[in-house]
Chains A and B, each alone.
Chain A
Amino acid sequence: MKSRFLALFSIAGALSAQILSAQVTFERLLHPEKEPQNWLTYSGSYDSQRHTALREITPANVKNLELQWVFQQRSLEKFEATPLVVDGIMYTTQAPSDVVALDATTGRIFWTWAANVSANSRTCCGKVNRGVAILGDMVYVGTIDGRLVALDAKTGKPVWKVEVAKAEAGYSLMHAPLIVKDKVIMGVAGGEYGIRGFIAAYDAKTGKEAWKFYTIPEPGGKNGNTWAGDSWKHGGASIWVTGSYDPELNLTYWGVGNPGPDWNGDKRAGDNLYSDSVVALNPDTGELKWYYQFTPHDDFDFDSVQVPVLANMDWQGQQRKVMLWGNRNGFFYVLDRTTGQYLLGKPFAKVTWATGLDERGRPMRQANMEPTPEGTLIYPGNLGATNWYSPSYSPETGLFYLSVWDNYYSVYGKTEGEYVEGRLFMGGAPRNVVPLLMQPAPTLARKEEEGYGALRAIDPKTGERKWEFKMTDVTDAGILTTATGLVFSGGRDGNFYALDAKTGALLWKIYLGGPVASGPMSFAVNGRQFIAVNAGTSMYVFAVKQ
């Protein structure tokens, strides 16, 4: 008996060193280029380029991709998560907020954590989740009912949980948390419920709140005068897509959602900062370093929750740290991410709400293009010229790849309404003249002039389009680029495809039967490269046929 006991003890002792080496340290998160087989953060790297350095899958062999396994989410919700892969283990979420650990080569489940979310949770547009973060031996998830939970990565057992915000008041957590150093950064969704948005950081070991940055300042504070009266209290400015991080500048960048009520700005006169902005925060303190507002006093629901894509490039003869941003409002922007300075802006789709951007990047509003009680037809439509779909930047081609809805419009109506806690607070409802389909169906009835989806390659130095891949239906798909010159994406029509990154030529496609509403990602196990993407309610994983 004793020998058995001692044997087990010595195994446990010897093992602790190995466990330590397998931990996902912050150092590892900083250097994903050293382990391209893994996908350690929501966008694959802190610069959010959603670009893989793996080279097994090439333009020559992409036609030989075959399905390896499928994971069926136990939910009929949209499957918007991007999985993480760490040393052969995949972590993903299934709507509304469950976490699943899988064998990345077979899809077999190691453990599932059921979030058992409160019936009090409420969202405008689906009880979805976009993924987890990992640090040390813990996996972090935000739940639709407002909790941030740390799970043991080996067992799925909760280690701590904190209430970030109240579900009853319309707050929810949807985006994959962002780890910076020893903190977990999380923002709140709920921009259609009159929340007051914020981003907060929590100690990764204990869950203790470290700082909180309100995306709407108080009346006496800096920029507090950009909200009339008490409108700041329920002004929205939510956070629902993961931000980025520049370790050299020690700044974390987050896109902020729309002001509320969405389509009636009468009672919130002013620019409504920091709605529809990118904010650059010190991740240690939450202090605001700079901001840039894309759509001042928005009355179109033009959330700026896009993923901030960071790149370093030659800019008019000078090496510059830039940020590339295809905004829901229809303009493509390049900003200097050290200072927030506006460098370039151009429409990438049909826009009628503004005539252009002035020299400082502020939109010049088109007269009479605003929501009215009877409704006004405006481009782009309510869901935007793009939205939360992850773009990609390829350092090899120097191009920015963006999912676009072009020729797309809505009739923006406007109504009155008072704030009631936990109720929708939107001030109107835009109407789509031609219905948008949520699933592939045999009635794709739109003409090209009534809106279509496209994947566009944009030269960030000029804002000019290099090529496009047009789709009949619109697209909610994120984009992955590879070091071998491929672009992976899909569309609401249920197709998933690979294009030539230089030309946009179609190299491979497969029909997956459900809308692609997530960003594809890539990983490798034992030297074999895989591509994972969600379509409908399932995740599909491909590799080159052996």
Chain B
Amino acid sequence: MEHMFAKRFFLPLLAAGALLAQHGYTQADVEAGGRLYRTNCSSCHGPNGDLQPGVDLGHGKFRRANSDEEVASIIMKGIPGTGMPPGNFPESQALTIVAYLRSMAASANVTVTAGDPARGKEIFEGKGQCLNCHRVRASGSRVGPDLTDIGTLRRPADLQRSLVDPDAEVLAQNRYYRVLTKDGQTVTGRLLNEDTFSVQMLDTKENLRSFKIADLREHAFMAKSPMPSYKDRLTAAEMSDVIGYLTSLKGF
């Protein structure tokens, strides 16, 4: 109990990095845990961890657990008699989910206001030109990540970070790839699949492409996301509205 009090008290004062260091988690742990969380947890708990009544995973408060090991144990064993099922994770993976939950708590003091979704949609489709790369349901381009259900996967703070600093975190399935063929053709796009002898991509022309590695001079992930920062492109109010729109996208 003392441990938890200390954490809650110091939370606003500590930078996320310092908190992570305290628990011995690396940034890679947090990212791995985030992937597991989005795949296994967010459909019930929501991107903010607060979708279940009376349960709030995003602020470092747990009713039935204090230590990280106790949280991991719940993730692995579930809570009998409730809707929380046991998760099929080894403890090392469950602890990365804990790392992610701790990082959510650490960034929870970043107040991001989700603005008006209707105005946000206008900016998204108009001034922001977001559909040139992104897709929502049947509209827009497939070149960037599909945002149809982004509101179930990402918190407002994550969305703001991606809008301001697109390279801060790029999910593995959204990383950009570039091949240079032996006859000098450069093709970029999203990597869909690869094996020892070939790569499969959705290129920037929205064509499904398959290349034999023997036909390529170079092939590698691109260092930078092709997405521009919207820090200076949108006003604070516009940014907030776009975030409001994105958080409203819950699939169909």
Contacts and interface: CB of A to CB of B under 8 A. Distances in A.
A97 to B, nearest CB: 19
Interface stretch (B108-116, B157-165, B198-206, B238-246): B198-206
B148 interface: yes
Contacts of A109: 192-193, 200
B88 interface: no
A267 B193 CA distance: 56
Contacts of A89: 208
B85 to A, nearest CB: 16
B148 A105 contact: no
A108 B148 CA distance: 26
Contacts of B204: 8, 11-12, 15
Contacts of B138: 152, 159
A10 to B, nearest CB: 9
A12 B141 contact: yes
Interface string B122-141: 00000001001101011001
A154 B206 contact: yes
A2 B206 contact: no
Contacts of B143: 8, 12
Nearest to A109: B193
Contacts of B195: 108
B86 interface: no
A4 B185 CA distance: 19
A4 B226 contact: yes
Given A1-B229, A4-B226, A157-B146, A108 B210 contact: yes
A11 B200 contact: no
A425 to B, nearest CB: 35
B228 interface: yes
A103 interface: yes
A103 B197 CA distance: 13
Chain A, interface residues (CB within 8 Å), range: 20 to 34
A108 B132 CA distance: 28
B226 A106 contact: no
Contacts of A111: 192
A19 interface: yes
Interface string B203-223: 011111010100000000000
Chain B, interface residues (CB within 8 Å), range: 20 to 34
Contacts of B148: 157
A13 B133 CA distance: 10
A22 interface: yes
A19 B205 contact: yes
B175 interface: no
B150 to A, nearest CB: 13
B205 A18 contact: yes
Contacts of B135: 155, 157
Given A105-B210, A108-B193, A108-B210, A155 B228 contact: no
B59 interface: no
A101 B208 CA distance: 9
B132 A22 contact: no
A154 B206 CA distance: 7
Contact of A155 (B142, B200, B212): B142
Contacts of A5: 228
Contact of B137 (A1, A13, A15, A159): A159
B226 A22 contact: no
Nearest to A7: B226
Mostly, the B contact residues are loop
A154 B142 contact: yes
A9 B212 CA distance: 29
A110 interface: yes
Nearest to A89: B208
Given A108-B193, A155-B142, A103 B133 contact: no
A1 B231 CA distance: 12
B212 to A, nearest CB: 8
A22 to B, nearest CB: 7
Contact of B198 (A1, A108, A152, A155): A108
A154 B137 contact: no
Contacts of B202: 110, 154-155
A8 B131 CA distance: 12
Contact of B146 (A8, A108, A155): A155
Contacts of B198: 103, 106, 108
Nearest to B149: A157
Nearest to B148: A157
Contacts of B129: 9
B142 A4 contact: no
Contacts of B229: 1
B228 A15 contact: no
B99 to A, nearest CB: 28
Nearest to A111: B192
Interface string A86-112: 001100000000000101011011110
A89 B195 CA distance: 18
Nearest to A150: B138
A160 B148 CA distance: 12
Most buried by B among A2, A111, A157: A157
Most buried by A among B135, B138, B142: B138
Contacts of A101: 208
B35 to A, nearest CB: 18
A154 B228 contact: no
A108 B211 CA distance: 10
A364 to B, nearest CB: 55
Nearest to B190: A155
Contacts of B208: 89, 101, 103, 110, 154
Nearest to B210: A103
A276 B137 CA distance: 41
Contact of A15 (B146, B206, B210, B252): B206
Interface in A61-118: 88-89, 101, 103, 105-106, 108-111
A82 to B, nearest CB: 20
Interface string A153-174: 0110111100000000000000
Contact of B200 (A4, A108, A152): A108
Given A8-B133, A157-B148, 18 more contacts: A4-B226, A4-B228, A8-B143, A11-B205, A15-B204, A15-B205, A19-B205, A101-B208, A108-B193, A109-B200, A110-B192, A110-B193, A110-B200, A152-B138, A152-B142, A154-B202, A155-B142, A159-B138
3 smallest CB-CB distances across A and B, nearest first, come from A103-B210, A5-B228, A15-B205
14 contacts: A8-B133, A9-B129, A15-B205, A103-B200, A103-B208, A108-B198, A110-B200, A110-B202, A110-B208, A154-B142, A154-B207, A155-B135, A158-B252, A159-B137
Interface of B: 129, 132-133, 135, 137-138, 141-143, 146, 148, 192-193, 195, 198, 200, 202, 204-208, 210, 212, 226, 228-229, 252
